[in-house]
Amino acid sequence: MTEVKYLNIIEKKRCSGCTACVAVCPKQCITMQADEEGFLYPVVNTTRCIQCSKCVKVCPYTDSEFTNKPEKEELSVCYAAYNKNEEIRYKSASGGMFRVFADQIIAEGGVVFGATFDKDFTVEHTYTETLEGLTAFMGSKYLQSRMEDSFIQVKRFLREGRKVLFTGCACQIAGLKRYLKKDDANLICIDLICHGVDSPQIWLDYLHSLFPDESVKSVNFRDKVTGQDNSSVCIISSKSMFCERKRNSVYFKNWQYGMFTRPSCEICPFKSDNRVSDITIGDCWGFKKIAPEMYDDKGLSSMVVHSEKGKTLFDTVMHQLSFKETLIDDVKLYNSDYIRSNAFVHSRRKAFWKDYHQHKKPFEKLLKKHLEDSKTKILFKYIKKVVRRCLLLLKGLPN
């Protein structure tokens, strides 16, 4: 009789779902399955398992290299930057930095891995070898991507001597590097400044609440028709279109306050100055103070170069960029997700999920209910965190 159970390498709440264990299994007896919140976790077919422990050894959460990293801030150089190609910049979430790096790798005959929407508008990781294929990787996608066989494909391309650019969250890059075991000269990794990933299950319910009898045709989480600082979520269906300012969206407020963020994001060990990537990119918040001369509300990125490989790639494409060197402390201050190891966790997260599973309210009312119940408490808690972080930065202490 076949027995399938959760792969108990670490506490479930620490597992980021990176899939390194799936990729390394010699018997292919580990698969990813959704739990009651819609997040993917590894499960093992114990009948086929040969107890080789490769899954245990590959897990980045069991490796002190990643989870107890020494700080190496002095190795990183930070920039405010944007792509000079205005069309690409407009279509990008912030300054269009991904495309300038990805275009270069494709031009050198390489392969680019990134996140794209599938036919159901959940997110999966895949690769492209063409410039045309890069379009699907552009723009923000706040859901965790299914890795599928991406790690295995990365190894295959590296063995062929191809250059590979892998973009993803820091936890995914940590898993990839553990799986590969060595740092390949042809592998460039770019991680994103991450606030935490949403439940795909909640996202699909949200889409269904907007379009119960229609098929979704396109999703743009960061439409910049009104500027980067006031972007909208725009969803087009077979019959209609829904657009809403993100700051007014009850769905995005729930995400921002951690109502349905993956539990591992609450205790992420991969946010530090000593990143697992070669380059980190994200929104350049605080741009009016960091780089006022570059501010035009069309999109500006923060970029931190961590390695010689990252510097070489940046030097190759710098003529395609407008950029200014900035301070790493500015990134920490204005985009605290760069360094903050814990995502914001809503005090009513458990109550939300209890109501969700009991179907006590229509979905759209459920999204509003718990947010409204404690918004004063949320604001107070958030202000306390910001003040504490600012004080630590002023004192020169780690936060």
Q: pLDDT for 28-67, tens place per residue?
A: 999 999 999 999 999 999 999 999 999 999 999 987 655 5
Nearest to 46 by CA among 60, 32, 30: 30
209: left (phi over 0), alpha (psi -120 to 50) or beta: alpha
- Report the domain count for the chain: 3
**Would the pLDDT of 381 be above 80?**
no
Average of per-residue pLDDT across 165-187: 97
pLDDT digits (tens, 9 = 90+) for 295-332: 888 899 999 999 999 999 999 999 999 999 999 999 98
Residues 182 and 285 in one domain: yes
> Is the pLDDT confidence value at 125 over 90?
yes
User: 């759209």: which residue's tokens?
Assistant: 364
∠ CA(303), CA(269), CA(329), 5° rounding? 35
- How crowded is residue 336: how many other Cβ atoms within 10 Å of its Cβ? 20
State the DSSP code for 345.
Answer: -
Q: Check whether residue 267 and residue 227 sit in a common domain.
A: no
pLDDT of residue 256: 84
The verdict on 373 and 326 lying in the same domain is no
State whether 193 and 294 are in the same domain.
Answer: yes
* Whether residues 252 and 266 fall in one domain: no
Do 110 and 81 belong together in one domain? Answer: yes
Tokens representing residue 96 in the block: 């269009």
Among the residue ranges 6-15, 113-122, 272-281, 318-327, the one predicted with the least confidence is 6-15
Amino acid at 6: Y
Q: What is the pTM of this model?
A: 0.90
Percent with pLDDT over 70 in the chain: 88
Are 129 and 233 found together in one domain? no
Q: Which amino acid is at 33?
A: Q
Enclosing domain of residue 40: 4-67
Say whether both 106 and 158 belong to one domain: yes
Same domain, 101 and 250: no
Same domain, 177 and 226: no
Verify that 84 and 112 share a domain, yes or no: yes
